[in-house]
Amino acid sequence: MFSIARHTALRQARSSILKASRPPFSQSSLARLLSTLAILEQRDGKLNPSSLAAVTAGTQLGGSVTGILAGKNAKAVAEEAAKVEGIEKILYIENEAYDKGLPEHYAPLLVENIKKGGFTHIFAGHSAFGKTLMPRVAALLDVQQISDITSIENETTFVRPIYAGNAILTVESTDPIKIVTLRGTSFPPSPIGSGTATLEQGTDPSAPAQAEWVSESLAQSDRPELSTAERVVSGGRGLKSKEEFDRIIPPLADAIGAAIGASRAAVDSGFADNSLQVGQTGKNVAPQLYLCAGISGAIQHLAGMKDSKVIAAINKNAEAPIFEVADVGLVADLFDAVPELTEKLKK
């Protein structure tokens, strides 16, 4: 018992030491030559705070950090983003055409502004927006992008997981411009505080878009957002049906104010929406508590949650691989254990 607690505490301590002792690149003489363009996201005139991970990465690197925002009310959003700590300047492009973030429009916009600004590093979140946009930008600039990094070694060297997180690759870029997407759980958003960035109008090439936005349908939820939640309650195939998933998982999540996640098996079987999928091909989460029930722990699932601070698992199969990573394991029928847990936590 004791050793487990110690182990977890050690791990936490170690990771915080690592973060604190990360070399400040700004001390390097190169820092003066480094300049980051941080791709900021907005939706319906609101800044997406998770995109501020790009600012965090820029400040870790050292050198100047410029943000870029485009859309109908880009200037208003830029004024909000100007308070973000670490940004020196924000380029805004007011044009409704960029509201939906279509890559056919947006990539030429970024290319123009990158060329004009002479940036050495382009950082964007590895979000749906970043994933669809940045490789297109990279190709237009003839750069090999580095995807989904978890840390920055120095101005040319970056660390990223490969093989569903089963290997950690440290890679050095020889490209003159570094185009990098960031794993959100590894780069906490730079806080909105007392920043005083200057605003400047960016260049708008008004490239024609070949594609047209038709509609969207986003899952409405009062619960915390999965990828940034402090706590996540996740269900798998063991829930047996959508009805049982909906009956058992949400009350537990609500009892501890957690977001809901699911394994691919649960998503494929239609128990839960695809947007809740945690794993290599879904979302990466690293909450304080990841509490899962009826999930066996396939490597693709572990890829998305094994950086959680504390993992707790309920599974009736004592041999399930999830127990190899769980800090706390309970071998029990989830249909008994989860409702009991929910009741006791409500008190």
Partner 1 sequence: MSGLRILVPVKRVVDYTLKPRINKTQTAVDVSGLKHSMNPFDELSIEEAVRLRERKVPVDDILAFSAGPAKSQDVLRTAMAMGADRALHVVEEKEELEPLGVAKLLAQVVKDEDRNLVILGKQSIDDDAGQTGQMLAGLLGWAQATQASKVEVNGEEITVTKEVDGGVETVKAKLPMVVTTDLRLNEPRYASLPNIMKAKKKPLVKKALEDYGIDLKRRLKTVKVTEPPVRKGGAKVEDVDGLIGKLKELGAL
Q: Which of residues 265-294 bind partner 1 (CB under 8 A)?
A: 267-268, 274-275, 280-281, 288-289
Query: How far apart are the C-alpha atoms of 312 and 334, rounded to whole Å?
Result: 13
Of 103, 202, 235, 304, which one interacts with partner 1 (CB under 8 A)? 103
Minimum distance from residue 247 beta carbon to partner 1 (Å):
18
Q: At 313, which helix (H) or strand (E)? A: strand 310-315
Distance (Å, whole) CA 319 – CA 168? 27
Asked if 228 is part of the footprint of partner 1 (rule: CB under 8 A), the reply reads no
Residue 109 interacts with partner 1 (CB under 8 A)?
no
Strand-pair category, 157-162 with 151-154: antiparallel
| DSSP classification of residue 192 | B
Q: 196 or 318, CB closer to partner 1?
A: 318
Q: Is 280 annotated as a binding residue?
A: yes
Q: Are 238 and 316 in contact (CB under 8 A)?
A: yes
Sign for the CA dihedral angle at 317, 318, 321, 322 comes to positive
30-59 residues near partner 1, rule: CB under 8 A: none
Contacting range for partner 1; rule: CB under 8 A; set: 64-72, 89-97, 173-181, 196-204: 173-181
**Count of residues that interact with partner 1, criterion CB under 8 A:** 98
Whole-angstrom distance, CA of residue 46 vs CA of residue 31: 31
The interface region with partner 1, picked from 22-30, 32-40, 68-76, 162-170 by CB under 8 A, is 162-170
Distance CA 264, CA 279 (A): 7
Residues 287-346 that bind partner 1 (CB under 8 A): 288-289, 298-300, 306, 309-312, 314, 318, 323-332, 337, 340-341, 344-345
**Region binding partner 1 by CB under 8 A among candidate stretches 23-31, 54-62, 82-90, 224-232:** 224-232
Closest distance to partner 1 from the beta carbon of 75 (Å): 25
292: helix, coil or strand? Answer: strand
Q: Which is nearer to partner 1, 196 or 217 (CB)?
A: 217
Residue 222 touches partner 1, criterion: CB under 8 A = no
- Residue 252 and residue 137 in contact, taking contact as beta carbons nearer than 8 Å: no
54-93 footprint of partner 1 as x/- string (CB under 8 A): ----------------------------------------
Neighbours of 84 (CB within 10 A): 25
Query: 289 is written with which tokens?
Result: 């508590």
Strand-pair partners of 159: 151, 170
Decide: is 243 part of the binding site for partner 1 (CB under 8 A): no
- To the nearest whole angstrom, how small is the minimum distance from the Cβ of residue 194 to partner 1? 29
**Element at 64 (helix H, strand E):** strand 64-71
- Helix H or strand E encompassing 242: helix 242-255
Say whether residue 260 binds partner 1 (CB under 8 A): no
Closest contact distance (angstroms) between CB of 300 and partner 1 is: 7
Annotated binding site for FAD: 237, 263-264, 277-281, 294-301, 315
